[in-house]
Amino acid sequence: MSDLPARRLLLVHAHPDDESINNGATMARYAAEGAQVTLVTCTLGEEGEVVPPHLAHLAPDRDNALGPYREGELAEAMKQLGVGDHRFLGGPGRFRDSGMMGVEQNDREDAFWAADVDEAAALLAEVIREVRPQVLVTYDPNGGYGHPDHIQAHRVAMRAADLAADPGFRTDPGEPWEITKVYWNRVPRSVVIEGFARLRETLAEPGRLPFTKVASVIDVPGVVDDWIVTTEIDGTAFAAAKTAAMRAHATQIAVAEPFFALSNELAQPLFTTEYYELVRGRREGGGRETDLFDGLDGLDGLEGVEGNVSAEQQNGAAL
Ligand SMILES: [Zn+2]
């Protein structure tokens, strides 16, 4: 496909809503800059809990209609982010949401958690060879917070990156393609702590927020010591797009920016600067990158993009 944009970013997520929470600002920014942004979601999120009471009937133990409904929510979120290329791994409904660790839904034959990693990865490798992304974003090996589908999404994404580059893997989905840079979603601990401090202050003002309970640092996926974070994408200019995308996932998320809550009703900060750990590929210089395409020949620092690490940031990241 020679008509693809020069810069191509692939994100692999477990459920509809994960992309907007983790990477909404990043996706909106790169889409606005003309990069190809491809999202692959592994399940429809059929096992999710439903936040708004008037939609509670969609739940798996009632109408079991959450999957198709969330497809619609995701489509709306993509519209808000300006992302045109969205796919479900193997097609919608191929893999079912597994639910939290230890629940019996994980044993279903079609559960994503029960899927053969190589088989699922082969489906993703086909997408990689078609889209030829230079950059892949997914979760860390613990899926950020231990959810089975997130762990599986990590395994499938990492395996697919290898398969796509392997000349011994099938030839029908196109030429082998090696992804140059692989990132895991992260949040620096200091940023989370500061976010919760702001949240507690705001909550103390009567009537300011629709939330009463506060999550804790361990509820936030991917939190690590600051030095582990290699890359930060300033998506402040795309805050409105990110919050709109999160709002589109109304069955899952209640938003009162700059905060939100999931079905557990525990409020947490909403970040519009998004953070990453580069785990495959080279980092230029010693500071935090500010562009996922940094160091890729001819692709970083494109016109109008503040992609280069400034001296100030390089010094700052030595902390
Ligand atoms: Zn998820």
Is 18 labelled as part of a ligand binding site?
Answer: yes
Q: How many angstroms does the Cα of residue 121 sit away from the middle of ligand 1?
A: 18
Residue 112 and residue 152 in contact, taking contact as beta carbons nearer than 8 Å: yes
Is pLDDT above 90 for 299? no
Digit-coded pLDDT (tens) for 247-287 = 999 999 999 999 999 999 999 999 999 999 999 999 887 89
Domain topology for 8-280: Rossmann fold (3.40.50)
Q: How many angstroms does the Cα of residue 298 sit away from the middle of ligand 1?
A: 34
Give which of 119, 5, 87, 95 is closest to 47, Cα–Cα: 95
Q: How many angstroms does the Cα of residue 18 sit away from the middle of ligand 1?
A: 5
Q: How many angstroms does the Cα of residue 194 sit away from the middle of ligand 1?
A: 24
Look up residue 286 and give its two tokens. Answer: 């010693």
Is 17 labelled as part of a ligand binding site?
Answer: no
Rounded Cα distance between 225 and 223, Å, is 7
Is 219 labelled as part of a ligand binding site?
Answer: no
Q: How many angstroms does the Cα of residue 8 sit away from the middle of ligand 1?
A: 23
Name the residue ranges covered by the structural domains of the chain: 8-280
Q: How many angstroms does the Cα of residue 15 sit away from the middle of ligand 1?
A: 5
Share of the chain above pLDDT 70, in %: 93
Burial category of 34 from C-beta neighbours within 10 Å (exposed 0-12, middle 13-18, buried 19 and up): middle
Place of tokens 């739940």: 59
Digit-coded pLDDT (tens) for 217-229 = 999 999 999 999 9
